[in-house]
Structure 1
């Protein structure tokens, strides 16, 4: 009898927008010890070698009252790594000893990934799908994390941009310095909606059918949703751990979300 080959992917890419719950998912997968070392490998700007800084998120918003609430820009160094060396590093950094690779990609990072892959020595195309396949040497499992409640997502994003605490509980002294700003939240609502629309259009146009995970389901039972990814990779879903992170949302988050919804009704901000 000819053995049946397991054709399931040995790599996965979590596709999301900021503050969608994707960090909880990838940290839960990391905690298994067998599902790669997923990270945001593609967030770094070539001009600075840094992830986008708080003020850079609002570069197109001409509102000094927003910028003054955010940390000053830090000067970085231009990226000098060759594309092939970048590939070697990213693949090695995201892989566990069993050969499974994991990573995370936000829609705003797509141009950075595609632009980086252009110079690979064996590039096969110019689009995102070929860039990912050329990077990893295979077509990964695409996992899409969805968060329908965009106002709460934008509030979470705005708080994190001010405190620069991206996971776990925010220290009270930092959280106390965060300031509500309807204009900033409105800008982020529009940005996050555009990111989600970008992902949905790309999946449709590319013919990729992702494994979809809803934020509410992930928040309610992260082990179950993590197990779905593990199963799709041919790994034991029972390896999914208890929640790997403490939720950042608190009464202040809910208060800001309700305040923004009221402001949106009276001032015409997007919901």
Structure 2
């Protein structure tokens, strides 16, 4: 039986469920600024969200619209509209409410939020999609989504899983761009690599874009801050994935970015022509 998500903090389940603990709630204040982090899995959004939380100026940016999280928030909200309840508990003392959204959460967000265009949107990405996809695949295999979660299953190299995650990430980024641009929204565009290189500069850019005063905020020194998850295995998987992808391209097989039937047919036709030419040169 699952432990109480509002009190358990010492198990794998607890590490995930501590986000619902009322200890993280703020006194209810009117919302004057709303911020949406537009993300894809493993782009550094959890890392950034906790940095913003510890800053004391952006409420507590979490994946509230994640279906698994939403169910628990519904139970906490009772008869109150769930998103209104979340805002009442997770809007910071300065009136800033922030939410983290993967693109797959967008439809539910638009259903629950009557005024989506009142948000200030930040599009967070990673330049290195392959490393992001590898991180995504590994987290799914091990169950360790943040730095202090224990791995409950082993990680193993799986080209197909990494390729699937790369397609997922690429389409998520493209869909975010399409959504924002068709509405004439110019988001703040941030990259994980730049945030890691200059966290203070990134936070200053966010504050400037959202018109949030961070010099008046009271940092929360006791807030949990996740560490970056860096493993040598992921570097080894990168070289292997690239080599396997080149081999698959030569054979005319599907790879990320070339996964549609028409494109695969073209690749296989080309591969057959190359093979025929090589055989002719070899006198076969």
Could you state the TM-score of these two structures normalised by the residue count of structure 2? 0.67
Structure 2 unaligned residues grouped into runs of 5+: 1-31, 250-254, 258-284
**Is the contact made by 1:40 and 1:105 (CA closer than 8 Å) also made in structure 2?**
yes
**Is the contact made by 2:142 and 2:155 (CA closer than 8 Å) also made in structure 1?**
yes
The equivalent residue for 1:13 is: 36
1:197 aligns with 2:174: yes
1:33 aligns with 2:19: no
Distance in 2 between the 1:230 and 1:266 partners?
46
Distance in 1 between the 2:216 and 2:48 partners?
15
Look up the SS of the partner of 1:145 in the other structure: strand
The equivalent residue for 1:104 is: 100
The equivalent residue for 1:256 is: 237
Equivalent of 1:141 in 112, 116, 120: 120
The equivalent residue for 1:49 is: 71
CA offset digits 1:76-126 (Å, max 9, x no partner): xx9897895212212123311221111111101112222345xxxxx5xxx
Question: CA, structure 1 residues 114+83, in 2 after alignment: closer, same or farther (shift >3 Å)?
Answer: farther
Q: CA deviation at 1:202?
A: 1.1
Q: CA deviation at 1:43?
A: 0.9
Number of aligned residue pairs: give it.
Answer: 217
**Is the contact made by 1:231 and 1:237 (CA closer than 8 Å) also made in structure 2?**
no
Distance in 1 between the 2:215 and 2:190 partners?
15
Distance in 2 between the 1:260 and 1:155 partners?
9
**Is the contact made by 1:12 and 1:102 (CA closer than 8 Å) also made in structure 2?**
yes
**Is the contact made by 1:42 and 1:105 (CA closer than 8 Å) also made in structure 2?**
yes
Q: Which of 94-103 and 186-195 deviates more?
A: 94-103
Distance in 1 between the 2:94 and 2:174 partners?
35
Bigger relative contact order, structure 1 or 2, given CA contacts below 8 A and separation 6+?
Answer: 1
Q: CA deviation at 1:148?
A: 2.2
Structure (1/2) with the larger helix percentage: 2
Distance in 1 between the 2:146 and 2:91 partners?
22
The equivalent residue for 1:270 is: 256
Q: CA deviation at 1:230?
A: 2.0
Look up the SS of the partner of 2:155 in the other structure: coil
Q: CA deviation at 1:245?
A: 2.7
Look up the SS of the partner of 2:100 in the other structure: strand
Equivalent of 2:163 in 181, 186, 194: 186
**Is the contact made by 1:227 and 1:238 (CA closer than 8 Å) also made in structure 2?**
no
Question: CA, structure 1 residues 270+260, in 2 after alignment: closer, same or farther (shift >3 Å)?
Answer: same
Q: Which of 107-116 and 198-207 deviates more?
A: 107-116
Question: CA, structure 1 residues 175+266, in 2 after alignment: closer, same or farther (shift >3 Å)?
Answer: farther
Distance in 2 between the 1:82 and 1:207 partners?
36
**Is the contact made by 1:155 and 1:185 (CA closer than 8 Å) also made in structure 2?**
yes
The equivalent residue for 1:120 is: none
Question: CA, structure 1 residues 241+186, in 2 after alignment: closer, same or farther (shift >3 Å)?
Answer: farther
Look up the SS of the partner of 1:49 in the other structure: helix
The root-mean-square deviation of aligned C-alpha atoms, in Å, is 3.1
Alignment of 1:86-101 (within 5 A): 86-101=82-97
